[in-house]
Chain A
Amino acid sequence: MKALVAGLFGLLLSALSTHATQAADCGQQLDARQRREIRTPRHLLVFAPSPAPLALGRHFGLDIVVCPRAGASLPLALKVDADMPAHRHGMNYRATVQTLGEGRYRAEGLFLHMPGRWRLLFDLSADGRLERLSHEVDLE
């Protein structure tokens, strides 16, 4: 019995440490100068734009890595968009997202056409839930 408990405890520790390692390593392959991250209790999302830095009136893509936290799963689907809440409009272009496996994605076709505050929006669909993550960007 003690051995079973110890075994289960060991498994739990191992799982937790795997998640911790994953979170610590999440997106490390992305350009450190451009890398940004968004944390929620369930996921850590790391992204880097290319070409960088983000510029007004230029198409760009995002390299994205999503790492699950606290027992969450990798998203089944990821949508990427952007909007300007203060102006009540979004982008004039529809971004596409390619799934590369192991939590890696490539979004293409983003375009910010106006100076001011934008939100980059990431809709993650995992474990039957939809989670929206956002990151603010100020463009001159």
Chain B
Amino acid sequence: MSFVCTRRRIAGLVLSMLALLTAAVSAQKIEFSAAERSRILTHGPWPPAPALDPGNAWAGRAEAIALGQRLFFDTRLSPDARLACASCHQPALAFADGRARSLGRVELERNAPSLWNAVHERWLGWDGAADSLWSQALRPLLEPRELGSNAAQLRRWLAQDRDLACRWAASFGTLADDDKVLLVQAAKALGAFVGSLQSAATPFDHFRDALAADDGPAQARYPASAQRGLRLFVGRGRCHLCHSGPRFSNGEFADIGAGFFVRPGQVDPGRHGGIQDLHRSEFTLLSHWADAPGETALKTRHVSPQHRNFGEFKVPSLRNVALTAPYLHDGRVPTLAAMVRHYSELDLDRLHADGERILEPLRLSGDEQADLQAFLRSLGDAGARRWQRPVLPTCRR
């Protein structure tokens, strides 16, 4: 009698526990509609198919990545040995610098974007003035207010540093006499290194994959607040219209009413100026400096400035967004909370009068703003601020 009773008690206990567990799981798992599910799935999978810096024959080559790493972290790339690429793109700060506006030889006009996943960008820089990583690398390299370097400095450094000279020879052979060739080679090595930086899967990606696989328990491990934030992102917020795809960016440009005065009387023309700079540049994918760019040059061939491009800036990727404050092209928004508030309280009068009509103030409650932040934080790869410089094998030639 007591044995049967005990068995019944155990069975009852197990059933109760199962019921509790089911309740707990269902409490943490939002049922997304078919349309929401479909939109969510477009934000993956991650990582995407590998990409290479376009028009860069050295992209993906181990010896060029190693050379690029040496160039990137060494201040001897600048004539007075004060600045390196890593001065504004610091691994411990997710390859950004944490400042509103970057500090070159003077304070600059724009915020340093993170370099994670930059190889997947269609255009580089807040104004998209470069169409490849290597052509982008030339800009800070030569800009007097940034590294302010030149071919003579590079030659001096190569003459003094046997390891660097060895790595250079491994990639490019004999040192070129032509200064432009030398500088483009340096830029292509930098492009190869930056192109190797791809962040890992995030809590969102695990959730997205669980959703694709219909794995309820795995979906429930994704925090409920992040799920609610995700629903806002692909729903009422319509954030996914511009922050689309696995990188959470359509790679294009938009006016979000941020304002574009650098200082009184001086404006940053944003994308409009970027396209003009691109057309003026002799180092694009349409130039003879590009190695077999193929169809990657279509964008450069067909882009042309439009009036509405004034004051448009790059739609940034939201991967690792919580790790890369402050925000916007000039870093005027200090925190993620303030960024969400910007969209919640958007001032439509600040938008371009003849621009697109997509944005409207979201009027989010405090809880909704917290949910959206929770979702955005879930786009962070925990390793994105812990990148360790690989120890390079000794160069022997």
Interface residues of A (CB under 8 A from B): 56-57, 59, 84, 87-89, 92-96, 108-109, 111, 113-116, 140
> What residues on A are CB-neighbors of B252 within 8 Å?
92, 113
> What residues on B are CB-neighbors of A92 within 8 Å?
252-253, 303, 306
Number of A-B contacts (CB under 8 A): 61
> What residues on B are CB-neighbors of A56 within 8 Å?
42, 244-245, 250
Closest residue of chain A to B241 (Cβ to Cβ) is A114
> What residues on B are CB-neighbors of A140 within 8 Å?
38-39, 42
> What residues on A are CB-neighbors of B301 within 8 Å?
109
Given contacts A92-B252, A114-B242, A115-B244, whether A109 and B356 have CB atoms under 8 Å apart is: no
How far, in whole Å, are A94 and B244 apart by their CA atoms in the complex? Answer: 22
Given contacts A114-B244, A114-B250, A115-B240, whether A108 and B355 have CB atoms under 8 Å apart is: no
Known: A88-B357, A89-B356, A95-B302. 15 other contacts (CB 8 A): A59-B298, A87-B357, A87-B358, A89-B308, A89-B355, A89-B358, A92-B253, A94-B302, A108-B298, A111-B302, A114-B242, A115-B39, A115-B241, A115-B244, A140-B38
A93 touches B299 (CB 8 A): yes
Closest residue of chain B to A109 (Cβ to Cβ) is B302
How far, in whole Å, are A57 and B245 apart by their CA atoms in the complex? Answer: 9
Closest residue of chain A to B275 (Cβ to Cβ) is A92
Shortest B276–chain A CB gap in Å is 15
Shortest B4–chain A CB gap in Å is 58
> What residues on A are CB-neighbors of B281 within 8 Å?
none
Those of B268-300 within 8 Å (CB) of chain A: 295, 298-299
Shortest B247–chain A CB gap in Å is 10
> What residues on B are CB-neighbors of A109 within 8 Å?
298, 301-302
A108 touches B302 (CB 8 A): yes
> What residues on B are CB-neighbors of A113 within 8 Å?
250-252
A57 touches B299 (CB 8 A): no
User: In the complex, which of the residues A59, A87, A116 contacts B299, with contact meaning CB atoms closer than 8 Å?
Assistant: A59
How far, in whole Å, are A60 and B329 apart by their CA atoms in the complex? Answer: 30
Shortest A25–chain B CB gap in Å is 31
Shortest B49–chain A CB gap in Å is 13
Shortest B293–chain A CB gap in Å is 13
Shortest A47–chain B CB gap in Å is 18
Asked if B304 is at the interface of the complex by the 8 Å CB criterion, the answer is yes
Shortest A45–chain B CB gap in Å is 22
Interface residues of B (CB under 8 A from A): 38-39, 42, 122, 240-242, 244-245, 250-253, 295, 298-299, 301-304, 306, 308, 355-358
How far, in whole Å, are A1 and B39 apart by their CA atoms in the complex? Answer: 71
Shortest A127–chain B CB gap in Å is 30
A87 touches B356 (CB 8 A): yes
> What residues on A are CB-neighbors of B244 within 8 Å?
56-57, 114-115
B241 touches A111 (CB 8 A): no
> What residues on B are CB-neighbors of A111 within 8 Å?
299, 302
B303 touches A93 (CB 8 A): yes
> What residues on A are CB-neighbors of B303 within 8 Å?
92-94
Shortest B314–chain A CB gap in Å is 12
Shortest A126–chain B CB gap in Å is 25
B302 touches A93 (CB 8 A): yes
> What residues on A are CB-neighbors of B242 within 8 Å?
114
> What residues on B are CB-neighbors of A95 within 8 Å?
302
Shortest B203–chain A CB gap in Å is 24
Shortest A57–chain B CB gap in Å is 6
B302 touches A88 (CB 8 A): no
Closest 6 CB pairs of A and B: A109-B302, A89-B356, A93-B302, A59-B298, A88-B357, A113-B252
B298 touches A88 (CB 8 A): no
> What residues on B are CB-neighbors of A114 within 8 Å?
241-242, 244, 250
How far, in whole Å, are A129 and B298 apart by their CA atoms in the complex? Answer: 32
Closest residue of chain A to B357 (Cβ to Cβ) is A88
> What residues on A are CB-neighbors of B358 within 8 Å?
87, 89
A116 touches B241 (CB 8 A): yes
Closest residue of chain A to B301 (Cβ to Cβ) is A109
B250 touches A96 (CB 8 A): no
> What residues on A are CB-neighbors of B253 within 8 Å?
92
Shortest A55–chain B CB gap in Å is 10
> What residues on B are CB-neighbors of A116 within 8 Å?
241
Shortest B33–chain A CB gap in Å is 14
> What residues on A are CB-neighbors of B251 within 8 Å?
57, 113
B250 touches A57 (CB 8 A): yes
Shortest B70–chain A CB gap in Å is 34
B302 touches A59 (CB 8 A): yes
How far, in whole Å, are A113 and B314 apart by their CA atoms in the complex? Answer: 13
How far, in whole Å, are A111 and B308 apart by their CA atoms in the complex? Answer: 17
Closest residue of chain B to A94 (Cβ to Cβ) is B304
Shortest A88–chain B CB gap in Å is 4
A and B contact pairs by CB, cutoff 8 A, 14 listed: A56-B250, A57-B122, A59-B302, A87-B357, A88-B355, A89-B356, A89-B358, A92-B253, A92-B303, A94-B302, A114-B241, A114-B250, A115-B241, A116-B241
